[in-house]
């Protein structure tokens, strides 16, 4: 009888281990959103300046769990949106959970440190609407062409590098990600919104402004090599 009871208890423990919070993905992302909500209220109630980076870092914490956000029921998703005040949340066609740069720029000026103010001033230049980069022209819900020739990719590269130099330990992952995106647009991007001369102009602008940058030799190749030029699709329609 005792052995049967022991087996029953052991089975119940095993069941709880496999059916608890780790298995309930919908509950876990809602709990994470509640953690964000609590931290935001705590920061808003503080008198002195404090770092906002722990709030912004929720973008990174949700980046590997977007499928769980997508699978929330409608009621749960509404709760999620409410809890994630200050973040842009979407799951139609494309799923994202991103900080709203305008919300956070205001919060940074009210409650943040100099690094917070500088970062969100930068982010609003890089992603004015919080979703699309300033050098991308949206064409579908999830893709767009690159606005070469405007000087915007070159300008944002410089601003991101300058931020890293001035605040080397602040918002490291987010800044590195944005820098990777703009470097990829310059060095491997092929979908140009305008004609080939717009791309060549952008490469020339970058080479002139940053002759010693690590990526400059690659842009010289794209600027002059016929094979490299042929890879660029003028008046490109993405998707």
State the residue range of the domain holding 36: 17-113
Asked, for residue 211, whether it belongs to a domain, the answer is: yes
Between β-strands 96-99 and 136-138, what pairing exists: parallel, antiparallel or unpaired? unpaired
User: Last residue of some domain: 68, 83, 113?
Assistant: 113
pLDDT score of 9 more than 80: no
Domain boundary among 47, 81, 113: 113
User: Phi/psi of residue 21, each to 5°?
Assistant: -55, -35
Q: Is the pLDDT of residue 205 over 50?
A: yes
- Positive or negative torsion for Cα 58, 64, 70, 76: negative
Q: Which residue has the higher pLDDT, 183 or 12?
A: 183
Please state which of the ranges 24-38, 156-170, 197-211 shows the lowest mean pLDDT: 24-38
In a domain, 6, yes or no: no
Last residue of a domain, one of 79, 113, 147: 113
What average pLDDT does the segment 166-187 reach?
A: 98
Q: Is the pLDDT of residue 5 over 60?
A: no
- Dihedral class, residue 3 (left if φ above 0, else alpha if ψ from -120 to 50, else beta): alpha
Model confidence at 43: pLDDT above 80: yes
> Average pLDDT of 187-198?
96
Q: Tell me the C-alpha distance between 66 and 94, whole Å.
A: 10
Question: Is the confidence at residue 146, as pLDDT, over 80?
Answer: yes
Q: What is the mean pLDDT of residues 210-223?
A: 96
Find the mean pLDDT for residues 202-222: 97
Whether 122 maps to a domain, the answer reads: no
Rg from Cα positions in the chain: 23
- Shared-domain flag, residues 139 and 109: no
Count of domains forming the chain: 2
Residue 200 lies in a domain: yes
CA 209 vs. chain centroid, Å, equals: 27
In a domain, 123, yes or no: no
State the pTM of this model: 0.86
């Amino acid at each position: 009888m005792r052995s049967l009871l022991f087996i029953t208890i052991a089975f119940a423990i095993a069941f709880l281990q496999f059916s608890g919070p780790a298995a309930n993905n919908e509950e876990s992302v809602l709990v994470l959103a509640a953690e964000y909500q609590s931290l935001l209220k705590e920061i808003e109630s503080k008198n002195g300046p404090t770092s906002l980076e722990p709030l912004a870092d929720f973008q990174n914490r949700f980046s590997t769990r977007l499928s769980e956000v997508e699978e929330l029921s409608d009621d749960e998703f509404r709760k999620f949106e409410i809890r994630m005040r200050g973040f842009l949340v979407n799951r139609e066609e494309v799923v994202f959970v991103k900080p709203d740069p305008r919300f956070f720029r205001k919060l940074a000026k009210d409650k943040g440190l100099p690094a917070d103010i500088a970062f969100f001033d930068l982010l609003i230049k890089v992603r004015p609407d919080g979703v699309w980069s300033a050098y991308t022209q949206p064409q579908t819900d999830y893709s767009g062409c690159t606005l070469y020739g405007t000087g915007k990719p070159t300008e944002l590269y410089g601003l991101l590098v300058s931020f890293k130099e001035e605040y080397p330990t602040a918002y490291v992952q987010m800044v590195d990600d944005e820098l990777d995106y703009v470097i990829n647009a310059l060095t491997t991007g092929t979908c140009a919104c305008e004609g080939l001369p717009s791309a060549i102009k952008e490469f020339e602008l970058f080479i002139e402004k940053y002759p010693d940058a690590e990526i400059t030799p690659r842009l010289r190749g794209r600027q002059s090599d016929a094979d490299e030029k042929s890879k660029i699709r003028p008046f490109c329609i993405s998707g």
